[in-house]
Amino acid sequence: MFVDKVTVYAKGGDGGNGMAAYRREKYVPDGGPAGGDGGRGASVILEVEEGLRTLMDFRYNRHFKAKRGDHGMSKNMHGKNAMDLIVKVPPGTIVTDEATGSC
């Protein structure tokens, strides 16, 4: 069976939550902030794979959701960034946004 048109749902990962923390030191009257930012969420990237010839792989796996970034921690430690999700497509694939119709 040859599949030439599919609808795929993709969602980029959310960023991690930051953390609100305050330093407390014995001889420092106002310790100050010490929380870290959350990590960057992953992106969904379409990559051309020369060995693929049809969109048959997308017939059963249509939903792609990237991972979220890790949360920030105390002591100004930032959360870890998430790895991007790479989706392989055959050469000549045309991607359009269903809502706007733009390529």
Angle at 69 between CA 8 and CA 67, to 5 degrees: 25
Instruction: Residue 44: give its domain's CATH number.
Output: 2.70.210.12
* Domain range for 36: 1-103
- For the chain, the domain total comes to 1
Share of the chain above pLDDT 90, in %: 29
Q: What is the pTM of this model?
A: 0.75
At 63-77, the pLDDT tens digits run 999 999 998 888 888
At 29-50, the pLDDT tens digits run 777 788 888 899 999 999 999 9
Q: Which of 73, 2, 79 is nearest to 41 (CA)?
A: 79
Q: Give 13: exposed, middle or buried? Use CB within 10 Å, 0-12, 13-18, 19+.
A: buried
